[in-house]
Amino acid sequence: MFRRIIDSPRTYFILAALFFVIGVLVTVRISPPPRDAGSIQDLEGLAARDDLNVVFVLIDTLRADHLSAYGYERETSPVIDEIARYGVRFSQTTAQSSWTKASMASLWTGKHPAMSGVLRYGHGLGAEAEMPAELLKEAGFVTAGLYRNGWVDANFGFDQGFDVYIHPRMNENRMEFQRRQLGAQVGGTDLDITQAAIEFMRQYRHRRFMLYLHYMDVHQYAYDQNSALFGTQYKDYYDNAIRWTDSNLGMVLQELIDQDLFDKTILVIASDHGEEFRDHGREGHAKTLYREVVDTPLIFSLPFRLEEGLVIDTLVQNVDIWPTILDLLGIETPAGVTGRSLVPLMLGEQDGFKGRAMFSQLDGTWGQEDTEPAPFVAVTTEDWKMIRHLTTDRRELFDRIADPRERTNVAQREPEVVRVLDAQIDEHLAAVEEKGLQPVEFEMDELRLNQLRALGYNVGGKDN
């Protein structure tokens, strides 16, 4: 995996000179990480270290293909690109749902939606859910969660294990802000998260900590003047918001560097789902399971530099994130988790990853009161993706190689592929019997429903 790309001395000197020049340019821009290069032994040795911190950055509503690190033609993410350059970037990551609460319940528990049980708007995680923050707190970490999305509020069980779990206070008057999403009125900006994170790191830099930052301005299409770089169409506002969030991440990164924390921090960047721009005729998210809403970024920055540009193309999924972080820290992942550690892939071992299928799930009526569930499940393999509606038995099959944008349903033409993928979905759902959690049902009062409606969700109606 840590392949030698430079074999001749001549190439080496030319490239070294080139990297020096690029290095100077990047220095001017964001101060590159002043870290030593690491080896496979360093990676394997992380679990034995007792000085590591975790910063887990969740950028809500971020589709992978709008990041320059993932080949987007616009420079939306210079900071993320820089982090990815010396870390590990997973090029094909599947989120477990296209709706925040279901997706985050899976990401934290390492269990797919059918097994986390969190599928409808009143559902939450019960005390039996074993949350990573609980494990880290037990291991002596100070744990803090900073978020601005009501779907991950404490009352849905997401605060389990956190010493501090807050929606930071608003500092909105500090800058002129643009908001483009209709109906969206979440107070404050992501700068509130960034500033609270910086305060936290200053206070706890001498302790081991786990910091969860849940950024929300991409969801809100909100950004400052300096990030208004990409035009005035709907999709441009989204890209501006990515650039703004990226600059927030730059502030967090700078603080890690300034506090001498960057070489003892595992930094992870992920998202809960993407966003549709009429790719399949709709806008927003939480409605379908096409690629634009479930293909999300995943980047690990380790406490040392890796060989530049390490990209892993094996299919992975968000339920793998915490088993990986725990593995890196030498903390055992709880039994019954459906995700698995990606550390072997980082070490170049493919065993057990080839042919592994990824699953996502959404209940088509999740936001409606007194309706029957209408779940659908997507299975993704190297070659195929199939979405199966469990109540209507409708299937959409896409050839991922010939049709990566999932335009043409070839289910009729490929009955044998449908049969194989059907069996995989059946097997996946059957595992619920063994590993499933019972969701806790929450009463949603009008106040809370209105807060969620302010995020742009149509919830609590009889039909929508």
Minimal distance, residue 292 CB to Zn ion, in Å: 14
Whether residue 360 contacts residue 96, with contact meaning beta carbons closer than 8 Å, is answered with: yes
Non-local CB neighbours of 257 within 8 Å, separated by 6+ positions: 31, 33, 34
Under DSSP, is residue 268 helix (H, G, I), strand (E, B) or coil? strand
Min dist. Cβ of residue 152 to Zn ion (A): 9
Tracing tokens 């992501």 back to the chain, one arrives at 190
Q: Shortest Cβ distance from residue 167 to Zn ion (Å)?
A: 15
Nearest distance from C-beta of residue 455 to Zn ion, angstroms: 9
- Residue 177's DSSP bridge partners are 224
The least distance separating Zn ion from the CB of residue 148, rounded to whole angstroms, comes to 11
Is the Cβ of residue 255 or residue 272 nearer to Zn ion in the bound state?
272
CB of 65 to Zn ion, least distance (A): 17
CB nearer Zn ion, residue 189 or residue 333: 189
In sequence order, what are the residues at sequence separation of 6 or more whose Cβ sits closer than 8 angstroms to the Cβ of residue 173?
none
Do 156 and 124 meet the contact criterion of CB atoms below 8 Å apart? yes
- CA dihedral over 182, 442, 112, 298, signed as positive or negative: positive
- As measured in angstroms, the least distance from the Cβ of 311 to Zn ion is 25
The CA–CA distances, whole Å, from 322 to 59, 310, 380 equal 16, 20, 21
Which of 150, 334 has the CB closer to Zn ion? 150
Which one, 96 or 195, has the nearer CB to Zn ion?
96
Q: Closest residue to Zn ion, Cβ-based? A: 100
Q: Smaller CB distance to Zn ion: residue 60 or 246?
A: 60
Q: Please name the amino acid found at residue 272.
A: D
Q: How far is CA 442 from CA 114, 156, 448, in A?
A: 18, 8, 11
Q: Nearer to Zn ion by C-beta: 85 or 285? A: 285
Residue numbers of the site for Zn ion (CB under 5 A)? Answer: 60, 100, 272
Let me know how long the chain is. Answer: 464
Select 57 or 135, whichever has its Cβ closest to Zn ion.
Answer: 57
Report the C-alpha gap between 424 and 330 in whole angstroms.
32
User: Minimum distance from CB of 100 to Zn ion (Å)?
Assistant: 3
Closer to Zn ion at the Cβ: 285 or 385? 285
Q: What is the DSSP string of 307-354?
A: STTEEE-S-EEGGGHHHHHHHHHT-PPPTT-S----HHHHTT--TTTT
